[in-house]
Chain A
């Protein structure tokens, strides 16, 4: 209970007026019985204090209110109490307030009498109230009372059109009024008088409602959230006089820098006449916040460079400029005042993290300017300010609060400063000013607050720079350059910026790579220890000897020895098969496959009977010994079972019996001795090595994902050295594009599944960036997997933490456990998510144990991840699946696969043996777990050779290992090389087996790897190759539905500007809104999807569908992307070739080389060159006058913020039509001939040959 203290206990620090009649609430720790807290009120919270607010002491306390109805009640003492006001009574109300975020439309009660109980007989008994009314994003002052009238209750509301911003500061607010005299009203914010106006029922001379209702502080109307104050209040005073203006003005004092421009703007009448809601508030403006010049240490600034400082430890709780000097947490050098992004931040071993945001970016440089009056332009996505020699020149405001109904017509007004002026991209604010220089050096600093706060609970926008720049147009000129301290000024027009941004991206990429390398080096000791432990393990375990090369077999390296050995062994087997009998693979095995293998193969066959191998069938199951007795049709239980009429006996179960013909076939086969070779008839003769150009195309596609360029073809052809293939392989393994090629593969295997709009449907974070960087850095595979399983970095930034997310999934970590087993352990555990797998050994408990390791705590099995055994048993027969974990069971973290590696390995080798994730990472990746190295080697093998040594790299249990010795040898090579994937790739690519000519009729490479089968390009390769070979730039929209970054970070990611197919993702138009379509991205996704790419990847996949279907040729020949790569626009690669070509013969040859990596045959040359020859001589157009449309204007854009606007749909549909139309054809080529050239390009990219390797 609170103790009694004198009621009129005036406290505070300023002088008092009429102290004896001034109720005051200072909240300074004294408990008061007259104040009854209700709901989320917290006392003893920090109030305004010295030195920022010198009128208060350093320990001053305040009260906070939760904004959900929390309030303090002060009882009225009855008639004529000190709280009752009648006509001609004077009132002055004042308070110190610090709202915790402002929400448009709120009417936050600071204090008021009456209107506390909406259910009472007199719900509108407002005697007086001081409120903050949030218009736009500004807290406006508001005074409110009610009067009874013949029409009923009338509301008299006085509001200021402007107020203070959501700046996280304390503000002093005051109103005064003499009842009955409407003109007596006055209001003050921070000591400055603000004009306001009466709205709703207007001014009145009538008397207010007076009764014995209580006074409430912090809320009203029974605790309505919209009427509640959220934040801190201190030092409330109620005077029964009109306190003089001067005294009110003096009440406010702060040492903090001024935040308002001169004074708070005076706008006309209150804009929101009408009801008590937020309508009609558009004219209210947030005050412009002036940035004062910061103190800068210029000694750190190197001449000729821009020094960029980032201050991330600032952690503001509102959108404000920093008030005090900030610690610089990072800095780097830049060439000019042009920023599209800052270097990435890396933690741990070099995984992406997010910078604390909002953060302050400050760019400093000494820039030499000629004398004259120049124009300066400043642009930024966050609030930005530009200073010259310590003086503010120009600034841009904070971004507006979020909206989802911004009109498109806003885009009709835009800044155009003439010439080839670059228009501001979406989501940037800008300002310009004139600046007169006397000539010479100036100290220039640009500041920008990057990121934007929605509320104090941590909701923020993405910390994007958009296009934060400072540019200058020198006196007497119309063009613009970026401000720079260096001699060369980058042009700031569209082309100039594109070039500059690309160069910057390249430079920042190197800075990022260096930062990752440095981070990795910090844990170098640990990884050195792991390397040594691996070498030790290798020394202690038996090697797999490389067999001697069998006679007459070709070999480039040990791989070929293993392959030859296997072929020889197979040839021996084939000799044992008699001719003339039942062909097992043609007649018998298909019956087994269709009817028996579903249950009788893998690690957990029914009745422990394997029918997938001869050995298994001869060994038999648990009930009746051998299933097949060769030569004996009576004693073979398999025959008895398929013939049986007993429903408990008959096989297969579930009423689909074998046909009489099938049974007769099996009988005959058994009678003949049940001959069952390891493989069907397999080719054992090897094709010779491929021709050089075929090799070059194959190896280039297999390493970097696109065919060789013309230059690469020419160089390779010219190279006469005997080791040119090996040199090419080395070159390609180090080509930066290799990371692009492999990223798509791991996105599928690891189920990377981000969504650009709202996380739904098992979305993960965009950890594609981590995959890509890991590959670009050639990370050892054990390190890469360790990083993934440690889940460090920031999910939003693309760190492995994003792997840990599975939105709308009942047990995210169980989903991840399945990915881990399939990706790294070759164990299929999908079924075991909800029940013990019927055809695999995996138990649900094992999946949940892994999930618990990832979660670093016990994980419960929810009802939704379970099946009811009772329901399963309904049928009668024993159910196929078992459930051994009850719903609700809790599984502790532990390693569930002791057969692969033992917990002691983690004790010994884990970075932190106490950390469950470190343990997991070690148990998966350590060499003791031989499975891991072999699974990884097998994955690399399968992708290059078109078939795994273990055919299904994700499921070893249900596929054969054709070359166990080779795979073990490769696994050990991987370990020996320090888990260097390139080492294994190099071995495979250099092998004769890889370099052999394809056998065109083969549908799949045979398990003997005699000759490769043609492989269809992956979806990503198809798309990337189309752009790479034609030279048409890959140009889509930014992969985002929030390009002006208005939405909360948690609901909208951007996947940036795609340059390769792997960077795309679903356009996520589940809402089916035309305005949310991304037509160019969709056009590429359509191609990708037809070739087996998944726009959405909720589950892991290793092998995609690769069968031909007619959607594929359809989308290539008639689709939008097909139009782009075919149309000879100015930026098309073939346009340049066509302009320079010496003859149609030469052009034909070059086109074949470029698109198909080969020369045309004589017949092809004749047909194509003949076709291009018509009109060839006259193909060039002399007049190349390019029409430039005037007046220039920026294209309309659509983003989430404006997509509900009706014009947004029109704009998008126009964009869609433009995408479908494609870029205009070049006007440098005669139309008729250009069409011929396009026909040739069309035919070459649409040829089946283009798609196969």
Chain B
């Protein structure tokens, strides 16, 4: 019995590939990515102020003028412009496609839209749908079966969960780069010698459970957990192992999260969701209503720094073609301004970003009107966007997931963006 099937047989699948479902011979388009780093901008990134710049507006004068808040700059792809606060990314746009024509109909509720963008489906009372991370973990397992398939740097919630696929396709999470993964970081007051003594006490209990029994199975899972809490897995979390230059190139805490994500995929994790949730920078994070917009440019700068750092680093380490970087957000924001110069929510047209992953990038895909209010060309639905990620990750989108005995299409009728393959 090889290690992979050994773990699977024990129901330890968070850390194992599912050989039955490992994808091969995907129908339709198929990419070549092996890993995905999914950056989540909670709150709703304003497309007009970032990846889909338009004519300059004015948010503070008495007669407000709709439009972008910042001037735009040229990029490495001719004809594609970005906000001036994305200068480093602008130089790398040949590796990036800003999908500017993403759209859905949910606007008023963050949790609802967050769920939609993560699961690709509207809610129903009949099933909890799996997140994109869980779907990929389910279909592809971890690249190295000794590490988890799906990790989350952010807060746990149902939208990020495995839904009907079950716990084995769920995430291991950490809330920041200092604390390490929940359940695998030894509490700070327990020293290594004590850890050993504890295990000796545990081993002295009750003799061995009969082979094949539920208790024996749990004991096996426990050994696996202790192994993961050891250096072979935990070393990935030690960012100090990176060269100072590399760490600097990623920027602050969010950048360090992206660096950690790169280390994790290098270690064999299949999918890492990285949340950009440091809302204290401007109060509301990307949910820039009212005064929260005043410091929005700092967030954008931070994103630029980390994203460019990540792309450059992946390129340097030869991993860019194998690693799909996604920037997702629950919705965009309208070109108009609210009473205090901030912006509301807009789901009808907004941008999400794809980078690397072996796709044929074109800087920008899809077209919105003069104010990025409506999509005028190449609309991309959330299911389409999911299908694109799945196809890039070599997942056969024609095969259904199973909710108990019930087949559920992996996307709700989504079609990958053909131009990128």
Contacts and interface: CB of A to CB of B under 8 A. Distances in A.
Asked if A and B bind, the verdict is: yes
B3 interface: no
B179 A1118 contact: no
A303 interface: no
B79 interface: no
Contact of B156 (A1073, A1086, A1205, A1216): A1086
A1092 B167 contact: yes
A1242 B198 contact: yes
A1001 B187 contact: no
B350 to A, nearest CB: 17
Interface stretch (B51-59, B92-100, B109-117, B359-367): B109-117
A1229 interface: no
B183 interface: yes
A760 B116 CA distance: 12
A598 B222 contact: no
Given A1108-B218, A1248-B222, A1251-B218, A1114 B168 contact: no
Given A809-B125, A1239-B194, A1000 B215 contact: yes
B155 A1077 contact: yes
A1249 B156 contact: no
B127 A1119 contact: no
Nearest to A751: B125
Interface string B79-110: 00000000000000000000000000000011
Interface stretch (B12-20, B314-322, B382-390): B12-20
A1239 B187 CA distance: 13
B206 interface: yes
B29 interface: no
Contacts of A1222: 187
Given A808-B112, A1118-B229, A1216-B175, A1113 B221 contact: yes
Given A1070-B115, A1074-B278, A1117-B225, A1239 B209 contact: no
Interface string B352-388: 0000000000000000000000000000000000000
A1003 interface: yes
Interface string A989-1012: 000000000001111000000000
B221 A758 contact: no
A1077 B174 CA distance: 13
A1248 B209 contact: yes
B1 interface: no
B182 interface: yes
Interface in B122-172: 122-128, 154-159, 166-168, 170, 172
Interface centre among B156, B198, B206, B218 (most CB of A within 10 A): B218
Contact of A1108 (B122, B184, B214, B285): B214
A398 B192 CA distance: 56
Given A1072-B277, A1109-B168, A1118 B209 contact: no
A1206 B226 contact: no
Interface stretch (A22-30, A499-507, A643-651, A1164-1172): A1164-1172
A883 interface: no
A1209 B279 contact: yes
Interface centre among A1003, A1073, A1161, A1210 (most CB of B within 10 A): A1073
B123 A761 contact: yes
Nearest to B403: A830
Nearest to B284: A1204
Contacts of A1252: 214-215, 218
A1048 to B, nearest CB: 15
Contacts of B221: 1108-1110, 1112-1113
B205 A1164 contact: yes
Contacts of A1071: 42-43, 110-111, 114, 285, 287
A197 to B, nearest CB: 22
Nearest to B41: A1072
A89 B279 CA distance: 56
Nearest to B122: A864
Contact of B198 (A831, A1109, A1167, A1243): A1243
A22 B236 CA distance: 84
Contacts of A1086: 156, 182-183
A1249 B11 contact: no
Nearest to B219: A1248
Contacts of B204: 1163-1164, 1167-1168, 1243
B37 to A, nearest CB: 17
A808 B109 contact: yes
Contacts of B241: none
A1014 B213 contact: yes
Interface in A1090-1148: 1090, 1092, 1094-1096, 1098-1099, 1105, 1107-1115, 1117-1120, 1122-1123
Nearest to B187: A1123
B231 interface: no
B213 A1070 contact: no
A405 B43 CA distance: 17
B124 A809 contact: yes
B21 to A, nearest CB: 14
B218 A818 contact: no
B283 interface: yes
B201 interface: yes
A55 B111 CA distance: 54
A1114 B229 contact: yes
A349 interface: no
Interface residues of B, number: 83
A1111 B14 contact: yes
A1246 interface: yes
Interface in B39-81: 40, 42-43, 62
Nearest to B339: A277
Contacts of B25: none
B202 interface: yes
A1108 B11 contact: yes
Interface centre among A1068, A1099, A1161 (most CB of B within 10 A): A1099
Interface in B282-311: 283-285, 287, 292
Contacts of A934: none
A1206 B210 contact: no
A1221 interface: yes
B184 A1114 contact: yes
Given A1073-B279, A1248-B218, A1105 B166 contact: yes
A762 B123 contact: yes
B202 to A, nearest CB: 4
A483 interface: no
Nearest to B185: A1118
Nearest to A830: B126
Interface in A369-389: none
Given A1001-B212, A1105-B167, 20 more contacts: A761-B112, A808-B109, A814-B125, A1000-B209, A1067-B157, A1070-B159, A1071-B114, A1074-B277, A1086-B156, A1110-B12, A1115-B182, A1118-B184, A1208-B280, A1210-B280, A1222-B187, A1243-B201, A1243-B204, A1247-B202, A1249-B206, A1252-B218
Closest 7 CB pairs of A and B: A815-B125, A1114-B183, A1072-B42, A1243-B201, A1070-B111, A1113-B222, A1072-B277
Interface of B: 10-15, 40, 42-43, 62, 109-112, 114-115, 122-128, 154-159, 166-168, 170, 172, 175, 179, 182-189, 194, 197-198, 201-202, 204-206, 209-210, 212-215, 217-222, 224-226, 228-229, 275, 277-281, 283-285, 287, 292, 339, 405-406
Interface of A: 275, 277, 405, 598, 751, 755, 757-758, 760-762, 806, 808-809, 812, 814-816, 818, 830-831, 833, 839, 864, 958, 1000-1003, 1013-1014, 1016, 1066-1075, 1077, 1082, 1085-1086, 1089-1090, 1092, 1094-1096, 1098-1099, 1105, 1107-1115, 1117-1120, 1122-1123, 1161, 1163-1164, 1167-1168, 1171, 1204-1206, 1208-1210, 1216, 1220-1222, 1235, 1239-1240, 1242-1244, 1246-1249, 1251-1252
10 contacts: A762-B125, A1068-B111, A1069-B155, A1072-B154, A1075-B279, A1099-B128, A1108-B12, A1109-B168, A1110-B221, A1248-B218
